[in-house]
Amino acid sequence: MIPPGKTLGILGGGQLGRMLAQAAQSLGYRVHVFEPAGPCPAGAVADKEVNAAYDDIAALTTFARACDVLTYEFENIPSAPLAAIAGLAPLYPRAEVLHICQNRQREKAWLRANNFPHVRYAEALDGDIAPAIAVVGRPCVVKTADFGYDGKGQMKIASDADLEQAAAIFRGRRCVVERWVDFSREISAIVARSSTGETKVFPIAENIHTRHILDFSIVPARVSPPVTHEAETLAVALAEKIGVVGLLAVEMFVTTGGEVLVNELAPRPHNSGHWSLDGCETSQFEQHVRAVCGLPLGEVTVREPTVMVNILGDAWRWQEGRVIGDPSWGAILAAPRAKLHLYGKTEPRPGRKMGHFTVRDADIATALTRAQELKQKL
């Protein structure tokens, strides 16, 4: 066990690192943040911020030596530097877990090899997508293997014209081609597995994406008890099979036939778990700290049904590509059972996650309506 008072090192300095740092500090840990480009949202609240490239082995080594346990909030950390600091302090989740989850091809191959239900897909190794598309059929979606997030590096293919355009865009890039899923719902399960082997699954969230970016998370998800049970069971089985220590977020599709298919895995706190800061007995950030430090995991009961809404840079007032004013926070701040969370980012950009807010109500439909109304008033 790594008790309170010790130092947690976080690789990555975005909003996930910031909220992780805040949770760790509440438990009495010291927090160091490593982020290439400073000043960063996590660094602003940490005991120490180090700015150096992820492949700066010397800087990473000095950083690791000053920490008692290491974790990350960002998937695209190169594996080689992580191998170089292995042994200086425990790193959770292990580098092997990150290696699988940071690349779609490896992640999907791992799901397939371990018989977890997933979307039909084929690999397009040399960027030649036509044969892979012939295997999965249309409509489908082409996704780059590396560095995708918020729908970046993805294209849906239905017509011949789409295919032609995609063939040019993705030429030479490693991709996967996935069958398009007519889902009835998108849900996610966030499971914590501690270094002692204890596991706990957060209540299932229902996720609504707009232009491939998470817009609303609704908890509890409006799905049937068997779907909830299936999602929870899958999440625990995945966490145990991959051997994660920390959080594993599992994004899933619920098909119109009621089948649950795994879409993506993320070995870290997840946007769809932000509701837990206000709506759950233990937040996902506190749970991650507990898991990597080997503390008993916290209770995950829902305090009150909660809707989380992402606040993107689009909510700022724009004129001719320039920001001319902030969103009006007044309505959220004045609303009962609503909470505003901003990440301290100074430069809003369209599509950039700047913050989120939550709305709670005993009735989830009421919470959703109020959340939609408050979003309109930003």
Ligand X SMILES: Nc1ncnc2c1ncn2[C@@H]1O[C@H](COP(=O)(O)OP(=O)(O)OP(=O)(O)O)[C@@H](O)[C@H]1O
Q: By CB under 5 A, is residue 186 in contact with Mg ion?
A: no
Q: How far is the CB of 258 from Mg ion (least distance, A)?
A: 21
Q: How far is the CB of 117 from ligand X (least distance, A)?
A: 13
* Contact present, 63 and 32 (Cβ < 8 Å): yes
Nearest CB to Mg ion, comparing residues 119 and 315: 119
Q: Minimum CB separation from ligand X for residue 181, in Å?
A: 4
Phi, psi of 254 (to 5 degrees): -105, 115
Tell me if 85 sits within 8 A of 56, measured CB to CB: no
Question: Rule CB under 6 A: which residues touch ligand X?
Answer: 119, 141, 143, 148-152, 178, 180-181, 186, 209, 212, 251, 263-264
Cβ–Cβ under 8 Å, residues 143 and 181: no
Which one, 31 or 223, has the nearer CB to ligand X? 223
- Answer for which of 107, 230, 264, 361 binds Mg ion (CB under 5 A) is 264
Residue 180's binding partner, choosing from Mg ion, ligand X, none, with beta-carbon cut-off 5 to 8 A by kind?
ligand X
- Look up residue 287 and give its amino acid: Q
Please choose, out of 32-40, 159-167, 261-269, 303-311, the segment that lies near Mg ion by the rule CB under 5 A: 261-269
Residue nearest to ligand X (CB): 181
- Number of chain positions touching Mg ion (CB under 5 A): 2
Consecutive H or E run containing 278? helix 276-279
Q: By C-beta, is 49 or 251 nearer to Mg ion?
A: 251
Bond before 139 cis per omega within 30 degrees: yes
**End-to-end CA gap in the chain:** 44
Q: Which CA distances in Å does 200 have to 5, 232, 243, 330? A: 25, 9, 14, 37
Q: Which does residue 377 bind out of ligand X, Mg ion, none, counting CB within 5 to 8 angstroms by kind?
A: none
Residue 239 CA to residue 232 CA, distance in Å, equals 11
Minimum separation from the CB atom of position 261 to ligand X (A): 9
Residue nearest to Mg ion (CB): 264
Indicate the residue among 144 and 194 with the shorter CB distance to ligand X: 144
Among residues 163 and 208, whose Cβ is nearest to Mg ion? Answer: 208
C-alpha pair distances (Å), 186 with each of 92, 115, 283? 28, 21, 21
In whole angstroms, what is the distance from residue 60 CA to residue 56 CA?
6
Q: Which is nearer to Mg ion, 43 or 269 (CB)?
A: 269
- CA distances to 48, 284, 287, 305, 308 from 311, in Å: 27, 19, 24, 20, 10
Contact footprint for Mg ion (CB under 5 A) = 251, 264
